[in-house]
Amino acid sequence: MPKITYITFGGEEHTVDVPVGLTVMEGARDNDIPGIEADCGGACACSTCHVYIADDWVEKLPAMDDIEKDMLDFAYDPNEKTSRLTCQIQVTEDLEGLVVRMPEKQI
């Protein structure tokens, strides 16, 4: 299982094993990681699982689709380069060591 590190806005790090096949959002939810609300349950119908991807990981992730891009318009303080919705990132073995940072709040 890949280890993914979730960093809260306050700087608290949570490194957890996330099973392949889940999403990064489900990994946070299943491990009670604070800062990812996931109000829509992973349907890409809100922006409450918004994170900033660590710079060295941005190019390693699959490109986002148009729906994710549109939903990021509703996120708190999105960053054109590093913002992603964790419900849209499927966990694979290639995500070993992924680091994501939560924004100050989810809206």
pLDDT mean over 71-95? 97
Task: Specify the amino acid at residue 32.
Answer: D
Total-model pTM: 0.96
Closest listed residue to residue 25, CA positions, set 56, 71, 79: 71
Query: What's the CA gap between 22 and 81, in Å, rounded?
Result: 24
For residue 10 the two structure tokens come to 């306050």
Range of the structural domain that residue 9 is part of = 3-101
Query: What's the CA gap between 99 and 43, in Å, rounded?
Result: 22
pLDDT of residue 51: 98
Task: Specify the amino acid at residue 80.
Answer: E
Q: What is the CATH number of the domain that holds 59?
A: 3.10.20.30
Q: How many domains, in total, are found in the chain?
A: 1
The pLDDT tens digits for 36-70 are 999 999 999 999 999 999 999 999 999 999 999 99
pLDDT of residue 80: 95
The residue count of the chain comes to 107
Residue 107 in domain: no
| pLDDT > 70: percent of the chain | 100
Coil, strand, or helix at residue 6? Answer: strand
